[in-house]
Amino acid sequence: MDYPSPHLMPRRYSYAVLLAAVAVGLLMPRLANWLLGPALLLGMLLLGVAHGACDQYVVPATHPLLARERARYWAGFLGGYLGLAGVVLVLWWRWPALALAVFFGLTAWHWGSADAPVGGPHRSQWLAHSLLRGSFLFLVPLWCWPTETQAVVNGLLALAGAAPVSAAGYALALTWLAPTVLGGHLLLWGSYLMQGRGTVAATDALEVALLTALLVVLPPVLSAGVYFVFWHSLQHVQRMSELMSGANGEAVTGRRILADVGFFLRRSVPLLLISLLALAVLYGLAWTRAASPSVLLSLALLVASVVTLPHALLVTLGMDAARWRR
């Protein structure tokens, strides 16, 4: 039996943005930064940063019994969230190479699981898709933009005071990762077809093709930004808005998506303002020290890594509980 995804419509809006970004990269590659930069900056503030600013609503929406006592819930939420963020900071301080591996591994898992088909896949298929899609998003830039990708990774390690990864290390990673990810996708699509889920297999293949075009045409920073803002963050905002408003099952249109984004932003205002203020102070201090663009990028990734662990755990254990329990 084939199960259509209720999130297919909002993804089609993401498809359109990706195609537009690819067109810019193909037709005006020298102007891509100038043309895509402002939209990415605005999207990063309204969707990228904001998409984690409603994490406090995940447990009340998915496990309301755990949030019955407001004071106890907030104490537990803040303690757990800040505690996990503190663990990541300790990792960066003592073992930066391990912190980098945890950050990229968690990001790959989080992005891949967020893109998994909705509506009936087996747990093994959900796990396979989560690992394969997330790894794919890192594999293509490393393959097609090796110099730029290595510069981003080594810049983050340099900011943490760690030794860079050698070219041989990246080559070894490609040797193992490429056949595993490519072969794994073929096996996954085959399993969908064997279950009579041709629509799911075709949709997943289409998404892989779209993402391949994005990751091949645009350099890593731009392609990752477009994906993170207009695909990953938009889908998360849509999903959280449905959970918080109880609007599951309603028809998804462009107007509905705008309404959901507005609904989400109104509830994310407190943490969003705190996050933006903290980022402004942090970047203000870095700017006064004449930090280069590469250092500012590394600093942004370091800040993102601190909240990735608690955010990804909340999504996996709360919003995705029905998938891994199946």
User: What dihedral do alpha carbons 147, 150, 156, 162 form, nearest 10°?
Assistant: -120
Cα gap 263→257, rounded to integer Å: 10
Cα gap 6→139, rounded to integer Å: 28
**Does residue 202 carry a pLDDT above 50?**
yes
pLDDT attached to residue 267:
79
For residue range 3-44, list pLDDT tens digits in order: 334 445 568 889 999 999 999 999 999 999 999 988 898 888
pLDDT attached to residue 3:
37
For residue range 137-165, list pLDDT tens digits in order: 999 999 999 999 999 999 999 988 899 99
Average pLDDT, rounded, for the chain: 86
Cα gap 305→195, rounded to integer Å: 38
For residue range 99-116, list pLDDT tens digits in order: 999 999 999 999 999 998
> Got the DSSP string for 130-168?
HHHHHHHHHHHHHHH-HHHHHHHHHHHHHHTT-PPPPHH
pLDDT attached to residue 259:
76
pLDDT attached to residue 6:
43
Q: How many CA atoms lie within 13 A of 194 on its CB side?
A: 8
pLDDT attached to residue 293:
76
Name the packing angle between helices 96-114 and 70-94 (round to 10°).
130
pLDDT attached to residue 289:
63
**Does residue 204 carry a pLDDT above 80?**
yes
For residue range 29-38, list pLDDT tens digits in order: 999 999 998 8
Contacts of 82 (CB under 8 A, 6+ apart): none
Angle at the Cα of 19 from the Cα atoms of 13 and 25, rounded to 5 degrees: 140
Question: By percentage, how much of the chain surpasses pLDDT 70?
Answer: 90
DSSP for residue 6: T
For residue range 63-75, list pLDDT tens digits in order: 888 888 888 999 9
